[in-house]
Amino acid sequence: MTQPALPRPARGARRLSDLTWVALILSGLGLALAFMSGAGLPIAAGGTVCALSALRRRPEDSPWPYVAVATGSVGTVLALILAIVTAVEWLPRLPELLVG
């Protein structure tokens, strides 16, 4: 029994650049990890930087770098807010946790 042929991409179909893929992955992962007391802050910020770089280098990848910029920015702001809230909540209790 033969398998049906898989559809091939059209000739001249464009591919997203590797930098755009990295930006999308980092931004999404940073947004998901932002809810863990701000742990996604550096990842989301890195995704935003990669997305801005991808916008400059490959403007034809649009709209995906814009999606990555928006996702990374939301993740960065959310992670920063949650990190501040966590620090304000836990720093006063830290001495009694360390001393016992």
- pTM score of the predicted model: 0.77
Q: What is the largest CA-CA distance in the chain?
A: 71
Amino acid occupying residue 9 = P
Q: CA-CA distance, 49 to 47, in Å (whole number)?
A: 5
Burial 78-94 (b: 16+ CB within 10 A, else e): bbeebbeeeeeeeeeee
State pLDDT tens for residues 24-79: 999 999 999 999 888 899 999 999 999 999 999 988 888 999 999 999 999 999 99
In the chain, what are the domain boundaries? 38-99
